[in-house]
Each structure stands twice: as structure tokens, then as C-alpha cells.
């Protein structure tokens, strides 16, 4: 088995699939464009949904990439050996070209051939979809692994919750998958031990998804017009396997980051289980925050949506940095270590270094004030508890209203001869989460991923809105900083340093409706990035795009790089109405609008 560093695995993976006829495409933004079903790009499939549904990709039908991703659903698990909020997903794609036969053969060759990773085949285990009422058992994948030389005892059939990749939202492309695991050498947890166990014996390193279905809004499945392959290999976990270490935090991807925390704290990484966990949390959360802040569509800390997640990550890192004894305002130094590690493959981190360190410093200083306010509130209420127990609702109030971590409440309670009803706190927290999740489901239902007619029309309207903003506000530098489109309305974020006046908003609305009234055709051309730039197409340019892109032109009003889909004619948009304009974050404004 080859001993590779992170940058070597990235290069080797892309080289392998380049030799198999795949076009290499760059990582998309961490902030999904025109997809309100998720807050962040959580998998390589998100930027490619239109192409999985049948749209033509400018780079062809065979693609490979290294996609930066963020998942925060299990944020409380971070601190163990394998969980991370930010990660890189190595992926290869077939858009209606090859399917299971070739996909499985490619994975087997890359993993086991001495020219590539050279992993001992006896250390690999595989799972396949067991079948249910929605789709049949995936015997083909099972039989194909056997043809590759896999022993029967190394293949398991598992139910949908383990071997089915569903859409991130309510609807979208999906299908059965076959997953690849590495045997860590740990003993089995029992007679029934298999890759679905959480005992740590089996570590998932690659997942081949065979997207054959589209999940509809009513929960039923229909066959897609094309069969797609979507694979994902976690870079951190694979590197940990190749380097023979027990944790992703012991790999070269984290060496410099861990060293920075050591220098700031004076603590040793492996000093104790508690210290190790704190090191991992600070390292992971600041790595993730650095990538979010440094993204071309990067957000800043706030109390809503992506900004809320970012704030939570930073403040959780601050709490554990305090536990390690790190000095105040030191997270910028950890971010510098992240930039040093990742600046070459992701140059946007270097370009946005000043913003990253500045926002981290501001959030550290805000949180210090938060902690002081929480401590003041604690001192005010601490004498009012009978029996020496702070009830769970009060502890949650300190957490929810003042941002005061419950661990801090427990610590101060102990110092004052009190205790905290943690069970009551957990109950209040769970009730809060249920309400928040219900609100999120309502807020993010539908989306461009389903390519419905109304959502497509609203998507086209965002292009006209951006063009109108530039003309009315006389600022050609105005550009999209995020969007959220459902079948009911569009939400468009753009960079602008002040509130847009009511008169300007009316002028923008009138300008968009003038474009609509012109009934101009909406056309799409494929061209190189250089050709798009020469034609004046709007776009971030840089690393976001591949060699060829789609450029949508809407009469003489708008020319923009975009993946689509769009209406055929601006006249199909009928009438545009701005409902609200407000601040989104520092230097970013937000417009909500509808089509009548």
C-alpha cells in the first residue's frame, strides 16, 4: 500500500480518471447556487444536479473532481477519530455514459493495483443494496465485485438506510449504492459484525452511487432519462488509511494546524483524552470556518442560515480554545496554518486571507462580550434556585438567549455549590431543535433541483435582476453572493455597501419588467472561459469553472455563465415584483421577489 500525502492523493486520483477519459472540473463553491434544499454543498452531486437530470455538461459525460464539502448534521461528534465538518470528496461521474460494470472496475483498479494505491484486496469489504418495494436487490454490483476477485464473505447486502443515496432535499436524483470499506484490524464486535456497525472495525472510504431514479414530491420514484454514476471518496479518511494512522487528525492534512494549536496553548496533542478532543475540535472547526469565509461566495457570521452555522463553529472553537488555555484573539493564527496547508489547491484562501482573519477576530471579540453578558446573567439568577439545582429551562435560556454554553453554566454552578439539570436542558434543546428543523423544512422546501416550470422562471428572473441592479445603481461590480429559489419566490444576495432606496428599488423593478416585456429569446452557448470573458459574460472566472462553460444570453440585457435551466423567452416571466430589500451580512444586501 502506497504511503501518500494529501496533495499526492489528489493528484493521483485525478490522473487516474484523466487516463480513463474523464474531464477534470474544479470544485464548486461551498455555498450552493440556486439550490435552497441545503445550506452548504454537502456532496459532489449538488453542483451537478441539472446534468444528472439530463442537461448537457460543457465538459462532457465523464467528469472527475475534488469537491470541498461541509456537513454539520453531526457537529457534536467532531472530536472523535474520524468526524469532520469540512472535508474534500474525490469524485468521478458518468452522465448517461458508463454504469455499474465500468464504475466498479475503475474503483477496484485504483484501490488495489500497485500502480495506484496498492491496497491489499483482503483488507477491503463491500456492501450492496438489499432491495425493497421501491427498487430491486442490486445483484449486479454483488456479482461484479465477485468478478473482480472479491470473496463472498467480504460482500454484504444492506437495507436502504445504508445503501441508498437519496436527494439532499425532498426531490431529486437518487439510487442504490455500493460502498467500500477498509478493515482497520480491530476485533469484531460480535458474530453479526459487518460494515454497518459503528464499532470501528470497518472504515468507509468510497461510495459508488448508481443514480437510476428521481424521487418525486409525493415520495414515489420514477426512472431517470439516463443512468448516472456518482462516486465519492473521502480524502481525509483515505489518507488516514494509507498513512496507517488511527485518526484523520494524525495525517499530514492536520499536522501544521495541530502544531499551531500546540504553540498557542502550550499543551501536547496527546496529553489526555480531554485535551486531544479539544485539539481536534479547534482544528476541525477553524479549518471549516476558514473555508467558508474564504469561499468566493463566502458568508460572514450571523444569526441565520449559513452565517448561523459559521458562528456556531467559531464560537464552539473559541470555547475549546479557552479550555486549552489559548490566549484571546488567537484563532487567526490557526487559520493561517489552514491557509498554509490548503492555499495551493485552493488559492481563494490566500486571496481572502485578510477577510478570514478579520472576521475570526471580530467574532472572537463578540463572543467575549457574549460570555461576559452570560456570566453577568448567571450572577443575577444564581441565588434563586431551591435545592441547589439550576433547572433545565433556565440553563437553556442562558444558552439560547445569551449564547452561554451549558458547559460554562455547569462550571460556574459547581463553583457556587450548585448543579444543573442537564436532562431538562437536553429536553428543552431537543424541543428547540424540532421547531428549528420544522421551520427549516418549510423554508427550504422545493428548489431549483426539481427544475419545475415556476422555479425555472424565477431562476431566469435572477439574471435579469442582477443586470437591472448594475444598471440602476450604476455599479458594474455588483454580483451574486448567494441565491435561494423556490417555486414561490426568489431570494438574491448581492454585494452593495448601503441600503437600496425605495426609489432605486422601484427603478430596478421597472427595469426587470422592461426586459420581460421585450419578450427576448433566452439562448445558451457553450464556449471557453476566455471566450465568455471576451464577450462580457458575468461570472466569477478563476477556479470555479472548467475549460468550457454554458453562457445564457437574454436579449441585450444579460449574458451570464450558468448551468441552467432557464425559460425559453423573457416574456414567459410575466411580471416581476420586489417584496423586500434588507441586509444579509456585512456589505451584502438581499432582495426577495416574486413573479405574478
Q: Round to whole Å and give the CA distance between 538 and 442.
A: 32
Residue 440 has what pLDDT?
Answer: 42
10-residue averages of pLDDT along the chain (596 residues): 92 97 94 73 84 89 95 82 91 96 98 96 96 94 97 96 79 90 92 88 94 87 91 94 92 96 96 94 97 90 82 89 92 97 96 95 88 85 84 87 79 87 89 59 42 82 94 86 82 90 95 92 86 82 62 90 84 93 84 92
Grid coordinates representing 585 are: 451580512
Q: Are 253 and 6 in contact (CB under 8 A)?
A: yes
Q: Round to whole Å and give the CA distance between 289 and 311.
A: 9
Task: Look at residue 233 and give its three-state secondary structure.
Answer: strand
Residue 447 has what pLDDT?
Answer: 38
Phi, psi for residue 365 in degrees, rounded to 5: -70, -35
Residue 449 has what pLDDT?
Answer: 41
pTM for this model (two decimals): 0.72
Q: Are 59 and 47 in contact (CB under 8 A)?
A: no
Q: Are 10 and 235 in contact (CB under 8 A)?
A: yes
- Number of Cβ within 10 Å of residue 494's Cβ equals 23
Cα–Cα distances (Å) from 490 to 451, 456, 472, 551, 563, in that order, read 14, 10, 20, 21, 17
Q: Round to whole Å and give the CA distance between 18 and 233.
A: 16
Q: Round to whole Å and give the CA distance between 409 and 399.
A: 9
Residue 587 has what pLDDT?
Answer: 81
Q: For residue 29, what is the DSSP state? A: P
- Number of Cβ within 10 Å of residue 562's Cβ equals 23
Instruction: Please give the CATH number for the structural domain made up of 6-247.
Output: 3.30.930.10
Q: Are 592 and 493 in contact (CB under 8 A)?
A: no
Q: Round to whole Å and give the CA distance between 491 and 459.
A: 10
- Going by C-alpha positions, the residue among 225, 228, 239, 227 that lies closest to residue 4 is 239
Where b means 16+ CB within 10 Å and e means fewer, 372-397 reads eebbebbeeebeebeeeebbbebbbb
Residue 540 has what pLDDT?
Answer: 55
Phi, psi for residue 149 in degrees, rounded to 5: 110, 15
CATH 3.30.980.10 applies to domain 452-595: yes
Q: Where are the domains of the chain?
A: 6-247, 251-368, 385-444, 452-595
Amino acid at each position: 500500500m502506497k504511503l501518500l500525502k494529501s496533495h499526492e492523493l489528489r493528484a493521483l486520483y485525478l490522473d487516474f480518471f484523466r487516463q480513463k477519459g474523464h474531464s477534470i472540473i474544479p470544485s464548486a463553491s461551498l455555498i450552493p447556487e440556486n439550490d435552497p434544499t441545503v445550506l452548504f454543498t454537502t456532496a459532489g452531486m449538488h453542483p451537478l444536479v441539472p446534468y444528472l437530470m439530463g442537461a448537457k455538461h460543457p465538459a462532457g459525460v465523464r467528469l472527475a473532481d475534488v469537491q470541498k464539502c461541509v456537513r454539520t448534521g453531526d457537529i457534536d461528534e467532531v472530536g472523535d477519530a474520524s468526524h469532520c465538518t469540512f472535508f474534500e470528496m474525490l469524485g468521478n461521474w458518468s452522465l448517461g455514459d458508463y454504469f455499474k460494470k465500468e464504475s466498479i472496475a475503475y474503483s477496484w483498479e485504483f484501490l488495489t493495483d500497485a500502480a495506484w494505491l496498492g491496497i491489499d484486496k483482503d483488507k477491503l469489504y463491500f456492501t450492496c443494496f438489499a432491495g425493497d418495494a421501491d427498487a430491486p436487490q442490486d445483484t449486479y454490483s454483488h456479482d461484479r465485485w465477485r468478478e473482480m476477485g472479491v470473496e463472498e464473505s467480504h460482500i454484504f447486502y444492506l437495507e436502504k438506510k445504508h445503501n441508498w443515496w437519496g436527494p439532499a432535499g425532498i426531490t431529486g436524483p437518487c439510487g442504490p449504492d455500493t460502498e467500500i470499506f477498509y478493515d482497520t484490524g480491530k476485533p469484531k464486535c460480535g458474530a453479526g459484525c459487518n460494515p454497518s456497525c459503528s464499532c470501528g472495525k470497518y472504515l468507509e472510504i468510497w461510495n459508488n452511487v448508481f443514480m437510476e431514479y428521481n424521487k418525486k414530491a409525493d415520495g414515489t420514484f420514477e426512472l431517470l432519462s439516463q443512468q448516472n454514476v456518482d462516486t465519492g471518496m473521502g480524502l481525509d479518511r483515505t489518507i488516514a488509511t494509507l498513512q496507517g494512522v488511527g485518526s484523520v487528525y494524525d495525517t499530514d492534512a492536520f499536522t501544521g494546524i495541530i502544531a499551531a494549536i500546540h504553540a498557542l496553548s502550550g499543551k501536547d496533542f496527546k496529553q489526555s483524552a480531554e485535551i486531544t478532543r479539544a485539539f481536534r475540535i479547534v482544528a476541525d472547526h477553524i479549518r471549516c470556518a476558514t473555508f467558508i469565509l474564504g469561499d468566493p461566495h463566502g458568508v460572514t457570521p450571523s444569526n441565520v442560515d449559513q452565517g448561523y452555522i459559521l458562528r456556531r463553529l467559531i464560537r464552539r472553537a473559541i470555547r475549546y480554545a479557552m479550555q486549552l488555555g489559548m490566549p484571546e484573539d488567537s484563532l487567526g493564527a490557526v487559520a493561517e496554518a489552514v491557509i498554509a496547508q490548503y492555499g495551493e489547491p485552493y488559492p481563494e484562501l490566500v486571496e481572502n486571507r485578510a477577510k478570514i482573519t478579520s472576521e475570526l477576530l471580530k467574532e472572537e471579540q463578540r463572543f467575549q462580550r457574549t460570555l461576559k453578558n452570560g456570566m453577568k446573567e448567571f450572577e443575577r439568577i444564581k441565588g434563586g434556585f431551591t435545592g441547589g439545582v439550576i433547572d433545565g429551562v433556565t440553563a437553556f435560556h442562558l444558552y439560547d438567549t445569551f449564547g452561554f454554553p451549558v458547559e460554562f453554566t455547569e462550571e460556574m454552578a459547581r463553583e457556587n455549590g450548585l448543579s444543573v439539570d442537564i436532562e431538562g436542558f437536553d429536553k428543552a434543546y431537543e424541543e428547540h431543535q424540532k421547531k428549528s428543523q420544522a421551520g427549516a423544512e418549510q423554508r427550504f422546501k422545493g428548489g431549483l433541483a426539481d427544475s419545475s416550470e415556476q422555479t425555472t422562471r424565477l431562476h431566469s428572473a435572477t439574471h435579469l435582476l442582477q443586470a437591472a441592479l448594475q444598471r440602476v445603481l450604476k455599479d458594474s461590480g455588483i454580483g451574486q453572493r448567494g441565491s435561494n429559489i423556490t417555486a414561490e419566490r426568489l431570494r438574491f444576495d448581492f454585494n452593495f455597501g448601503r441600503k437600496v432606496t425605495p426609489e432605486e428599488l422601484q427603478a430596478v423593478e421597472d427595469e426587470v419588467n422592461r426586459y420581460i416585456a421585450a419578450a427576448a429569446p433566452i439562448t445558451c452557448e457553450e464556449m471557453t472561459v476566455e471566450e465568455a470573458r471576451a464577450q462580457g459574460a458575468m461570472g466569477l472566472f478563476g477556479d470555479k469553472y472548467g475549460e468550457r462553460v454554458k453562457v445564457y444570453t437574454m436579449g441585450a440585457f444579460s449574458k451570464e455563465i450558468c448551468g441552467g435551466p432557464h425559460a425559453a423567452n423573457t416574456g414567459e416571466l410575466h411580471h416581476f415584483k420586489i417584496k423586500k430589500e434588507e441586509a444579509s451580512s456585512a456589505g451584502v444586501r438581499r432582495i426577495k421577489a416574486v413573479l405574478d
